Structure 1
Amino acid sequence: MSPASLPYRTALIVGAGPGISASVARALASSGVTVGLAARDPGKLAALAAETGAERFAVDATDPDAVARLFDDVDRRIGQPDLVVYNASGRVRGAIADLDPGAVRDAIAVSAFGAFLVVQQAARRMVPHGHGAILLTGASASVKGFPLSSAFAMGKFALRGLAQSAARELAPKGIHVAHFIIDGSVRSDGRADPSANPDSTLDPDAIAESYLATLRQPRSAWSWEIELRPWTETF
Protein backbone atom coordinates (compact mmCIF):
# COMPACT_ATOMS: atom_id res chain seq x y z
CA MET A 1 0.00 0.00 0.00
CA SER A 2 1.41 3.39 -0.98
CA PRO A 3 1.53 6.17 1.66
CA ALA A 4 -1.35 7.99 -0.04
CA SER A 5 -3.68 5.03 -0.60
CA LEU A 6 -6.41 3.69 1.63
CA PRO A 7 -7.31 -0.01 1.87
CA TYR A 8 -11.03 0.81 1.91
CA ARG A 9 -13.51 1.40 -0.89
CA THR A 10 -16.88 2.35 0.64
CA ALA A 11 -17.49 4.43 3.77
CA LEU A 12 -20.60 5.14 5.82
CA ILE A 13 -20.56 8.12 8.19
CA VAL A 14 -23.38 8.01 10.76
CA GLY A 15 -24.19 11.28 12.49
CA ALA A 16 -22.92 13.29 9.54
CA GLY A 17 -23.01 17.06 9.63
CA PRO A 18 -20.68 20.06 9.61
CA GLY A 19 -17.36 19.86 11.39
CA ILE A 20 -15.46 16.62 11.88
CA SER A 21 -17.70 14.35 9.82
CA ALA A 22 -17.79 16.81 6.91
CA SER A 23 -14.00 17.07 6.91
CA VAL A 24 -13.66 13.28 7.07
CA ALA A 25 -16.14 12.90 4.19
CA ARG A 26 -14.15 15.34 2.04
CA ALA A 27 -10.86 13.63 2.86
CA LEU A 28 -12.25 10.18 2.06
CA ALA A 29 -13.83 11.33 -1.19
CA SER A 30 -10.54 12.97 -2.22
CA SER A 31 -8.85 9.61 -1.60
CA GLY A 32 -11.23 7.84 -3.96
CA VAL A 33 -13.52 6.33 -1.34
CA THR A 34 -17.26 6.19 -2.06
CA VAL A 35 -19.07 7.90 0.82
CA GLY A 36 -22.51 7.55 2.36
CA LEU A 37 -23.79 10.20 4.79
CA ALA A 38 -26.44 9.28 7.36
CA ALA A 39 -28.31 11.62 9.70
CA ARG A 40 -31.75 12.19 11.16
CA ASP A 41 -32.29 14.98 8.62
CA PRO A 42 -30.34 14.19 5.46
CA GLY A 43 -31.77 17.29 3.82
CA LYS A 44 -29.18 19.32 5.71
CA LEU A 45 -26.43 17.34 3.98
CA ALA A 46 -27.27 18.41 0.42
CA ALA A 47 -24.31 20.75 -0.03
CA LEU A 48 -21.82 18.29 1.47
CA ALA A 49 -23.21 15.46 -0.65
CA ALA A 50 -22.90 17.55 -3.80
CA GLU A 51 -19.31 18.46 -2.91
CA THR A 52 -18.21 14.91 -2.16
CA GLY A 53 -20.44 12.93 -4.49
CA ALA A 54 -21.89 11.16 -1.47
CA GLU A 55 -25.24 9.45 -1.13
CA ARG A 56 -27.51 10.58 1.69
CA PHE A 57 -29.47 8.36 4.08
CA ALA A 58 -31.98 9.04 6.85
CA VAL A 59 -31.61 7.20 10.15
CA ASP A 60 -32.50 7.35 13.83
CA ALA A 61 -29.35 5.75 15.18
CA THR A 62 -31.08 4.72 18.43
CA ASP A 63 -33.65 2.54 16.63
CA PRO A 64 -32.40 -1.02 15.92
CA ASP A 65 -34.78 -1.50 12.99
CA ALA A 66 -33.84 1.86 11.48
CA VAL A 67 -30.11 1.07 11.72
CA ALA A 68 -30.64 -2.33 10.10
CA ARG A 69 -32.60 -0.67 7.27
CA LEU A 70 -29.85 1.92 6.89
CA PHE A 71 -27.19 -0.71 6.28
CA ASP A 72 -29.45 -2.61 3.87
CA ASP A 73 -30.02 0.64 1.94
CA VAL A 74 -26.30 1.39 1.90
CA ASP A 75 -25.52 -2.14 0.67
CA ARG A 76 -28.01 -1.70 -2.17
CA ARG A 77 -27.21 1.87 -3.21
CA ILE A 78 -23.42 2.23 -2.86
CA GLY A 79 -22.17 -1.20 -1.86
CA GLN A 80 -21.36 -2.90 1.41
CA PRO A 81 -19.28 -0.49 3.53
CA ASP A 82 -15.84 -1.62 4.61
CA LEU A 83 -15.34 1.58 6.61
CA VAL A 84 -17.87 2.92 9.12
CA VAL A 85 -17.53 6.13 11.14
CA TYR A 86 -19.82 6.90 14.10
CA ASN A 87 -19.93 10.61 14.84
CA ALA A 88 -23.30 11.03 16.57
CA SER A 89 -23.61 12.12 20.19
CA GLY A 90 -26.29 13.31 22.59
CA ARG A 91 -25.98 16.21 25.00
CA VAL A 92 -28.11 17.55 27.82
CA ARG A 93 -26.56 19.97 30.29
CA GLY A 94 -27.62 20.69 33.83
CA ALA A 95 -27.20 19.89 37.49
CA ILE A 96 -27.68 16.22 38.31
CA ALA A 97 -30.49 17.04 40.74
CA ASP A 98 -32.38 18.94 38.03
CA LEU A 99 -31.91 16.84 34.90
CA ASP A 100 -34.91 15.25 33.24
CA PRO A 101 -34.36 11.45 33.31
CA GLY A 102 -35.93 11.00 29.90
CA ALA A 103 -33.61 13.55 28.32
CA VAL A 104 -30.60 11.85 29.93
CA ARG A 105 -31.74 8.45 28.66
CA ASP A 106 -32.10 9.85 25.13
CA ALA A 107 -28.67 11.49 25.22
CA ILE A 108 -26.97 8.28 26.33
CA ALA A 109 -28.88 6.35 23.68
CA VAL A 110 -27.44 8.53 20.91
CA SER A 111 -23.85 8.54 22.21
CA ALA A 112 -23.62 4.87 23.21
CA PHE A 113 -26.52 2.60 22.25
CA GLY A 114 -26.64 4.00 18.72
CA ALA A 115 -22.91 3.36 18.41
CA PHE A 116 -23.44 -0.25 19.48
CA LEU A 117 -26.15 -0.75 16.87
CA VAL A 118 -23.94 0.67 14.13
CA VAL A 119 -20.88 -1.32 15.22
CA GLN A 120 -23.01 -4.48 15.31
CA GLN A 121 -24.27 -4.03 11.76
CA ALA A 122 -20.77 -3.14 10.55
CA ALA A 123 -19.26 -6.20 12.23
CA ARG A 124 -21.85 -8.52 10.67
CA ARG A 125 -20.69 -7.35 7.25
CA MET A 126 -16.96 -7.11 7.89
CA VAL A 127 -16.22 -10.28 9.86
CA PRO A 128 -17.01 -12.68 6.98
CA HIS A 129 -14.50 -10.78 4.80
CA GLY A 130 -11.83 -10.46 7.50
CA HIS A 131 -11.47 -6.81 6.56
CA GLY A 132 -12.82 -3.41 7.58
CA ALA A 133 -12.46 -0.41 9.84
CA ILE A 134 -14.76 1.16 12.42
CA LEU A 135 -13.93 4.64 13.74
CA LEU A 136 -15.72 6.13 16.77
CA THR A 137 -15.60 9.82 17.64
CA GLY A 138 -15.14 10.52 21.35
CA ALA A 139 -14.51 13.71 23.28
CA SER A 140 -12.81 15.09 26.37
CA ALA A 141 -15.81 13.63 28.19
CA SER A 142 -14.67 10.14 27.17
CA VAL A 143 -12.10 10.29 29.97
CA LYS A 144 -13.02 13.39 32.01
CA GLY A 145 -16.45 13.95 33.53
CA PHE A 146 -17.13 17.69 33.80
CA PRO A 147 -19.66 19.48 36.04
CA LEU A 148 -23.16 19.86 34.56
CA SER A 149 -22.28 17.31 31.88
CA SER A 150 -23.05 13.94 33.48
CA ALA A 151 -25.22 12.66 30.62
CA PHE A 152 -22.56 13.44 28.01
CA ALA A 153 -19.85 11.85 30.15
CA MET A 154 -21.88 8.69 30.71
CA GLY A 155 -22.51 8.35 26.98
CA LYS A 156 -18.92 9.00 25.98
CA PHE A 157 -17.47 6.76 28.69
CA ALA A 158 -19.73 3.98 27.37
CA LEU A 159 -18.63 4.69 23.80
CA ARG A 160 -15.00 4.32 24.83
CA GLY A 161 -15.78 1.02 26.55
CA LEU A 162 -17.51 -0.20 23.41
CA ALA A 163 -14.51 0.80 21.31
CA GLN A 164 -12.03 -0.95 23.57
CA SER A 165 -14.09 -4.14 23.74
CA ALA A 166 -14.79 -4.12 20.00
CA ALA A 167 -11.11 -3.56 19.19
CA ARG A 168 -10.07 -6.53 21.28
CA GLU A 169 -12.77 -8.72 19.77
CA LEU A 170 -12.58 -7.62 16.14
CA ALA A 171 -8.93 -6.75 15.52
CA PRO A 172 -7.90 -10.44 15.47
CA LYS A 173 -10.58 -10.87 12.79
CA GLY A 174 -9.00 -8.23 10.54
CA ILE A 175 -11.17 -5.26 11.54
CA HIS A 176 -9.45 -2.08 12.71
CA VAL A 177 -11.47 -0.38 15.48
CA ALA A 178 -10.23 3.02 16.65
CA HIS A 179 -11.60 5.56 19.13
CA PHE A 180 -10.67 9.24 18.84
CA ILE A 181 -10.63 11.45 21.92
CA ILE A 182 -11.22 14.97 20.62
CA ASP A 183 -9.84 16.83 23.64
CA GLY A 184 -10.69 20.46 23.00
CA SER A 185 -13.00 22.80 21.11
CA VAL A 186 -13.42 22.12 17.41
CA ARG A 187 -13.17 25.11 15.10
CA SER A 188 -16.29 25.97 13.11
CA ASP A 189 -18.08 28.88 11.46
CA GLY A 190 -19.67 29.63 14.81
CA ARG A 191 -16.48 29.09 16.80
CA ALA A 192 -13.58 30.85 15.11
CA ASP A 193 -9.99 30.43 16.19
CA PRO A 194 -9.07 33.41 18.44
CA SER A 195 -6.75 35.76 16.56
CA ALA A 196 -4.74 36.35 19.75
CA ASN A 197 -4.30 32.62 20.29
CA PRO A 198 -3.90 30.90 16.91
CA ASP A 199 -4.43 27.15 16.65
CA SER A 200 -5.96 27.00 20.11
CA THR A 201 -8.96 25.11 18.68
CA LEU A 202 -8.86 21.87 16.73
CA ASP A 203 -9.10 22.33 12.97
CA PRO A 204 -11.60 19.71 11.70
CA ASP A 205 -9.53 19.22 8.54
CA ALA A 206 -6.50 18.43 10.73
CA ILE A 207 -8.63 15.95 12.71
CA ALA A 208 -9.63 14.30 9.43
CA GLU A 209 -5.95 13.92 8.53
CA SER A 210 -5.46 11.92 11.73
CA TYR A 211 -8.45 9.74 10.92
CA LEU A 212 -7.01 8.91 7.51
CA ALA A 213 -3.52 8.40 8.92
CA THR A 214 -5.00 5.83 11.30
CA LEU A 215 -6.71 4.07 8.41
CA ARG A 216 -3.33 3.77 6.70
CA GLN A 217 -1.67 2.04 9.64
CA PRO A 218 -0.21 -1.41 8.90
CA ARG A 219 -2.04 -4.06 10.89
CA SER A 220 1.19 -5.00 12.67
CA ALA A 221 0.95 -1.63 14.48
CA TRP A 222 -2.71 -0.64 14.80
CA SER A 223 -3.84 2.05 17.26
CA TRP A 224 -7.10 1.44 19.07
CA GLU A 225 -7.22 4.95 20.55
CA ILE A 226 -5.87 8.31 19.41
CA GLU A 227 -6.05 11.45 21.55
CA LEU A 228 -6.07 14.79 19.71
CA ARG A 229 -5.76 18.20 21.32
CA PRO A 230 -4.57 21.68 20.31
CA TRP A 231 -1.12 22.64 21.47
CA THR A 232 -2.58 24.99 24.12
CA GLU A 233 -4.81 22.36 25.76
CA THR A 234 -3.73 21.19 29.20
CA PHE A 235 -3.66 17.48 30.05
Structure 2
Amino acid sequence: MSELSPSSVPLAWIVGVGASAGLGAALARRFAREAFTVVLTGRTAERVEAIAADIRAQGGRAIAAPGDVTDEQGIAKIAAQVREHGTLRSAIFNAGNAVRAPALELETAQFEAAWRTNVLGGFIFARAALPLLLAAEDASSAPSGAGSLIFTGATASLRGRPPFAAFAAAKAGLRSLSQSLAREFAPRGIHVAHVVIDGGIDGERLRNAAPQRVDDAGPDGLLQIDAIAANYWHLHSQGRSAWTQELDLRPWREPF
Protein backbone atom coordinates (compact mmCIF):
# COMPACT_ATOMS: atom_id res chain seq x y z
CA MET A 1 0.00 0.00 0.00
CA SER A 2 1.45 3.37 -1.02
CA GLU A 3 2.23 5.91 1.68
CA LEU A 4 -0.16 8.84 1.99
CA SER A 5 0.52 12.21 3.55
CA PRO A 6 -1.46 12.71 6.77
CA SER A 7 -3.45 15.60 5.28
CA SER A 8 -4.78 13.39 2.48
CA VAL A 9 -5.88 10.48 4.68
CA PRO A 10 -9.58 10.53 5.68
CA LEU A 11 -10.20 9.28 9.20
CA ALA A 12 -13.22 7.87 10.99
CA TRP A 13 -13.03 7.88 14.79
CA ILE A 14 -15.38 5.35 16.37
CA VAL A 15 -15.93 5.07 20.12
CA GLY A 16 -17.80 2.18 21.66
CA VAL A 17 -15.82 -0.60 19.99
CA GLY A 18 -15.92 -3.86 21.89
CA ALA A 19 -17.02 -7.23 20.60
CA SER A 20 -15.73 -8.41 17.24
CA ALA A 21 -19.34 -9.31 16.38
CA GLY A 22 -20.63 -5.93 17.54
CA LEU A 23 -21.82 -2.71 15.92
CA GLY A 24 -18.67 -0.72 16.70
CA ALA A 25 -16.49 -3.28 14.93
CA ALA A 26 -18.91 -3.44 11.98
CA LEU A 27 -18.79 0.34 11.61
CA ALA A 28 -15.00 0.23 11.65
CA ARG A 29 -14.89 -2.45 8.98
CA ARG A 30 -17.34 -0.54 6.77
CA PHE A 31 -15.44 2.73 6.88
CA ALA A 32 -12.15 0.90 6.38
CA ARG A 33 -13.57 -0.62 3.18
CA GLU A 34 -14.27 2.91 1.99
CA ALA A 35 -10.53 3.72 2.23
CA PHE A 36 -10.77 5.47 5.60
CA THR A 37 -8.23 5.01 8.32
CA VAL A 38 -10.31 4.01 11.32
CA VAL A 39 -9.40 4.98 14.88
CA LEU A 40 -10.99 2.58 17.35
CA THR A 41 -11.75 3.47 20.96
CA GLY A 42 -13.19 1.15 23.59
CA ARG A 43 -12.53 0.36 27.22
CA THR A 44 -11.02 -3.11 26.69
CA ALA A 45 -7.63 -2.70 25.06
CA GLU A 46 -7.30 -6.34 24.03
CA ARG A 47 -10.58 -6.28 22.11
CA VAL A 48 -9.82 -2.98 20.42
CA GLU A 49 -6.35 -4.19 19.39
CA ALA A 50 -7.76 -7.45 18.02
CA ILE A 51 -10.35 -5.68 15.85
CA ALA A 52 -7.75 -3.23 14.54
CA ALA A 53 -5.41 -6.11 13.73
CA ASP A 54 -8.17 -7.92 11.85
CA ILE A 55 -8.91 -4.83 9.74
CA ARG A 56 -5.22 -4.45 8.93
CA ALA A 57 -5.03 -8.13 7.97
CA GLN A 58 -7.82 -7.48 5.45
CA GLY A 59 -5.80 -4.65 3.87
CA GLY A 60 -7.38 -1.75 5.73
CA ARG A 61 -5.86 0.94 7.91
CA ALA A 62 -6.77 0.84 11.59
CA ILE A 63 -5.41 2.42 14.76
CA ALA A 64 -6.24 1.06 18.20
CA ALA A 65 -6.77 3.87 20.70
CA PRO A 66 -8.35 2.29 23.79
CA GLY A 67 -9.90 4.54 26.37
CA ASP A 68 -12.96 5.46 28.42
CA VAL A 69 -15.23 8.02 26.75
CA THR A 70 -16.03 9.58 30.14
CA ASP A 71 -12.32 10.32 30.71
CA GLU A 72 -12.02 13.88 29.41
CA GLN A 73 -8.22 14.01 29.46
CA GLY A 74 -7.91 10.56 27.89
CA ILE A 75 -10.26 11.46 25.04
CA ALA A 76 -8.35 14.71 24.47
CA LYS A 77 -5.15 12.70 24.11
CA ILE A 78 -6.78 10.40 21.56
CA ALA A 79 -8.05 13.45 19.65
CA ALA A 80 -4.45 14.70 19.43
CA GLN A 81 -3.44 11.29 18.10
CA VAL A 82 -6.23 11.45 15.51
CA ARG A 83 -4.94 14.83 14.33
CA GLU A 84 -1.49 13.35 13.71
CA HIS A 85 -2.75 10.52 11.50
CA GLY A 86 -4.98 12.32 9.02
CA THR A 87 -8.06 14.47 8.53
CA LEU A 88 -11.12 13.56 10.58
CA ARG A 89 -14.14 13.16 8.32
CA SER A 90 -16.48 11.12 10.52
CA ALA A 91 -16.85 10.75 14.27
CA ILE A 92 -19.22 8.08 15.58
CA PHE A 93 -20.40 7.76 19.17
CA ASN A 94 -21.50 4.17 19.75
CA ALA A 95 -20.91 3.88 23.50
CA GLY A 96 -23.69 2.89 25.87
CA ASN A 97 -24.59 0.80 28.89
CA ALA A 98 -28.10 -0.58 29.25
CA VAL A 99 -28.71 -0.52 33.00
CA ARG A 100 -31.71 -2.73 33.82
CA ALA A 101 -33.50 -2.52 37.19
CA PRO A 102 -36.96 -1.68 38.59
CA ALA A 103 -37.11 1.91 39.78
CA LEU A 104 -37.18 1.06 43.51
CA GLU A 105 -34.20 -1.25 43.08
CA LEU A 106 -32.22 1.13 40.86
CA GLU A 107 -29.23 2.52 42.71
CA THR A 108 -28.19 6.15 42.37
CA ALA A 109 -24.75 5.05 41.24
CA GLN A 110 -26.28 2.96 38.44
CA PHE A 111 -28.42 5.86 37.27
CA GLU A 112 -25.44 8.18 37.29
CA ALA A 113 -23.25 5.65 35.46
CA ALA A 114 -25.80 5.41 32.64
CA TRP A 115 -25.89 9.21 32.37
CA ARG A 116 -22.10 9.50 32.45
CA THR A 117 -21.55 7.00 29.63
CA ASN A 118 -24.35 8.10 27.32
CA VAL A 119 -24.76 11.83 27.90
CA LEU A 120 -21.54 13.10 29.45
CA GLY A 121 -19.54 10.70 27.28
CA GLY A 122 -21.37 11.91 24.18
CA PHE A 123 -20.62 15.51 25.10
CA ILE A 124 -16.93 14.84 25.84
CA PHE A 125 -16.53 12.98 22.56
CA ALA A 126 -18.34 15.64 20.53
CA ARG A 127 -16.29 18.43 22.07
CA ALA A 128 -13.08 16.58 21.20
CA ALA A 129 -14.14 15.63 17.66
CA LEU A 130 -15.89 18.79 16.48
CA PRO A 131 -12.79 21.03 16.28
CA LEU A 132 -11.15 18.39 14.06
CA LEU A 133 -14.25 18.12 11.87
CA LEU A 134 -14.49 21.91 11.62
CA ALA A 135 -10.84 22.17 10.63
CA ALA A 136 -11.49 19.69 7.84
CA GLU A 137 -14.57 21.65 6.74
CA ASP A 138 -12.58 24.90 6.63
CA ALA A 139 -9.98 23.22 4.41
CA SER A 140 -12.49 21.43 2.18
CA SER A 141 -13.88 22.57 -1.13
CA ALA A 142 -16.32 19.66 -1.35
CA PRO A 143 -19.90 20.92 -1.84
CA SER A 144 -21.27 18.24 0.48
CA GLY A 145 -19.23 19.43 3.43
CA ALA A 146 -16.36 17.72 5.13
CA GLY A 147 -17.61 15.74 8.07
CA SER A 148 -20.23 13.85 10.01
CA LEU A 149 -20.90 13.33 13.71
CA ILE A 150 -23.21 10.37 14.32
CA PHE A 151 -24.70 9.13 17.60
CA THR A 152 -26.13 5.69 18.26
CA GLY A 153 -29.52 5.80 19.97
CA ALA A 154 -32.06 3.17 20.95
CA THR A 155 -35.78 2.57 21.35
CA ALA A 156 -35.29 4.10 24.79
CA SER A 157 -34.28 7.39 23.15
CA LEU A 158 -37.95 7.94 22.30
CA ARG A 159 -39.89 6.33 25.15
CA GLY A 160 -39.18 5.14 28.63
CA ARG A 161 -40.51 1.99 30.24
CA PRO A 162 -39.55 -0.26 33.13
CA PRO A 163 -37.06 -1.64 33.97
CA PHE A 164 -35.00 0.78 31.86
CA ALA A 165 -35.53 4.13 33.62
CA ALA A 166 -31.81 4.93 33.80
CA PHE A 167 -31.10 3.85 30.22
CA ALA A 168 -34.11 5.72 28.83
CA ALA A 169 -33.23 8.94 30.66
CA ALA A 170 -29.66 8.70 29.41
CA LYS A 171 -30.54 7.90 25.79
CA ALA A 172 -33.15 10.67 25.71
CA GLY A 173 -30.46 13.05 26.92
CA LEU A 174 -28.10 11.90 24.18
CA ARG A 175 -30.80 12.45 21.57
CA SER A 176 -31.39 15.98 22.84
CA LEU A 177 -27.65 16.61 22.72
CA SER A 178 -27.51 15.46 19.10
CA GLN A 179 -30.35 17.81 18.16
CA SER A 180 -28.66 20.76 19.85
CA LEU A 181 -25.37 20.03 18.11
CA ALA A 182 -27.11 19.58 14.74
CA ARG A 183 -28.73 22.99 15.00
CA GLU A 184 -25.44 24.62 15.99
CA PHE A 185 -23.03 22.91 13.61
CA ALA A 186 -25.06 22.02 10.51
CA PRO A 187 -24.78 25.65 9.33
CA ARG A 188 -21.01 25.21 9.63
CA GLY A 189 -20.99 22.16 7.36
CA ILE A 190 -21.02 19.33 9.89
CA HIS A 191 -23.72 16.68 9.45
CA VAL A 192 -24.88 15.68 12.94
CA ALA A 193 -27.19 12.64 12.95
CA HIS A 194 -28.83 10.40 15.52
CA VAL A 195 -29.67 6.76 14.74
CA VAL A 196 -32.47 5.07 16.68
CA ILE A 197 -31.74 1.34 16.84
CA ASP A 198 -35.29 0.10 17.38
CA GLY A 199 -34.92 -3.64 17.86
CA GLY A 200 -32.47 -6.32 18.87
CA ILE A 201 -29.06 -6.41 17.21
CA ASP A 202 -27.88 -9.80 16.01
CA GLY A 203 -24.48 -9.59 17.66
CA GLU A 204 -22.35 -11.12 20.36
CA ARG A 205 -24.03 -9.33 23.26
CA LEU A 206 -27.58 -10.46 22.48
CA ARG A 207 -26.56 -13.96 21.45
CA ASN A 208 -24.79 -14.46 24.77
CA ALA A 209 -27.41 -12.78 26.96
CA ALA A 210 -30.65 -13.94 25.32
CA PRO A 211 -30.10 -16.84 22.90
CA GLN A 212 -33.79 -17.75 23.01
CA ARG A 213 -34.71 -14.30 21.73
CA VAL A 214 -32.37 -14.83 18.80
CA ASP A 215 -34.03 -18.16 18.01
CA ASP A 216 -37.52 -16.69 18.34
CA ALA A 217 -36.79 -13.74 16.06
CA GLY A 218 -36.69 -15.83 12.91
CA PRO A 219 -35.24 -14.79 9.53
CA ASP A 220 -34.25 -11.11 9.51
CA GLY A 221 -36.06 -10.62 12.78
CA LEU A 222 -33.02 -8.94 14.30
CA LEU A 223 -30.96 -6.04 13.00
CA GLN A 224 -27.87 -7.29 11.17
CA ILE A 225 -24.77 -5.34 12.16
CA ASP A 226 -23.47 -4.95 8.60
CA ALA A 227 -26.86 -3.62 7.47
CA ILE A 228 -26.78 -1.05 10.28
CA ALA A 229 -23.24 -0.05 9.32
CA ALA A 230 -24.33 0.46 5.71
CA ASN A 231 -26.89 3.00 6.92
CA TYR A 232 -24.26 4.89 8.90
CA TRP A 233 -22.13 5.09 5.77
CA HIS A 234 -25.18 6.37 3.87
CA LEU A 235 -25.67 9.11 6.48
CA HIS A 236 -22.04 10.13 6.19
CA SER A 237 -22.26 10.20 2.39
CA GLN A 238 -25.44 12.29 2.13
CA GLY A 239 -25.23 15.56 0.24
CA ARG A 240 -26.05 18.55 2.40
CA SER A 241 -29.14 19.55 0.39
CA ALA A 242 -30.94 16.56 1.94
CA TRP A 243 -29.43 15.70 5.29
CA THR A 244 -31.09 13.31 7.74
CA GLN A 245 -30.90 14.38 11.37
CA GLU A 246 -32.58 11.28 12.77
CA LEU A 247 -32.86 7.83 11.24
CA ASP A 248 -34.73 4.94 12.84
CA LEU A 249 -33.81 1.37 11.95
CA ARG A 250 -35.80 -1.73 12.86
CA PRO A 251 -36.36 -5.25 11.56
CA TRP A 252 -39.36 -5.72 9.31
CA ARG A 253 -41.16 -7.75 12.00
CA GLU A 254 -40.52 -5.28 14.84
CA PRO A 255 -43.71 -3.50 16.05
CA PHE A 256 -43.64 0.26 16.52
Structure 2: which amino acid aligns with 1:63? D
2:222 counterpart of 1:214? no
| Offset of residue 80 of structure 1 | 4.0
| Offset of residue 73 of structure 1 | 2.1
Alignment of 1:193-208 (within 5 A): 193-194=214-215, 197-208=218-229
Cα distance, 1:199–1:221 mapped onto 2, change above 3 Å: same
Which stretch of structure 1 is more off in the superposition, 167-176 or 92-101?
92-101
Matched residue, 1:35: 38
Alpha carbons 1:141, 1:157 under 8 Å: kept: yes
CA deviations over 1:10-49 (Å, ceiling 9, x no partner): 0110111231111111111111110010011221123311
| Offset of residue 196 of structure 1 | 7.0
Matched residue, 2:15: 14
Which stretch of structure 1 is more off in the superposition, 129-138 or 193-202?
193-202
Give the whole-Å Cα distance in 2 for the aligned partners of 1:212 and 1:230: 19
CA deviations over 1:123-176 (Å, ceiling 9, x no partner): 122224433111100011110212111110011001100111111111110001
Alpha carbons 2:150, 2:195 under 8 Å: kept: yes
| Offset of residue 227 of structure 1 | 0.2
Matched residue, 2:161: 146
Unaligned 5+ runs, structure 1: 1-7
Alignment of 1:40-189 (within 5 A): 40-53=43-56, 54-76=62-84, 78-130=85-137, 131-189=146-204
- The alignment's TM-score, normalised by the length of structure 1, stands at 0.91
Alpha carbons 2:76, 2:128 under 8 Å: kept: yes
Give the whole-Å Cα distance in 2 for the aligned partners of 1:34 and 1:16: 15
Percent of aligned pairs sharing the same letter: 38
Matched residue, 2:250: 229
Give the whole-Å Cα distance in 2 for the aligned partners of 1:100 and 1:195: 32
Alpha carbons 1:90, 1:109 under 8 Å: kept: no
Alignment: residue pair count: 227
Cα distance, 1:97–1:221 mapped onto 2, change above 3 Å: same
Alpha carbons 1:139, 1:181 under 8 Å: kept: yes
Alpha carbons 1:61, 1:114 under 8 Å: kept: yes
Cα distance, 1:128–1:55 mapped onto 2, change above 3 Å: closer
Give the whole-Å Cα distance in 1 for the aligned partners of 2:50 and 2:69: 22
Give the whole-Å Cα distance in 2 for the aligned partners of 1:27 and 1:63: 27
| Offset of residue 50 of structure 1 | 1.4
Structure 2: which amino acid aligns with 1:112? V
- The alignment's TM-score, normalised by the length of structure 2, stands at 0.84
| Offset of residue 209 of structure 1 | 0.8
Structure with the larger helix share? 2
Give the whole-Å Cα distance in 1 for the aligned partners of 2:217 and 2:42: 36
Give the whole-Å Cα distance in 1 for the aligned partners of 2:238 and 2:81: 29
Cα distance, 1:196–1:161 mapped onto 2, change above 3 Å: closer
Q: Secondary structure at 1:97's aligned position in 2?
A: helix
Cα distance, 1:128–1:30 mapped onto 2, change above 3 Å: closer
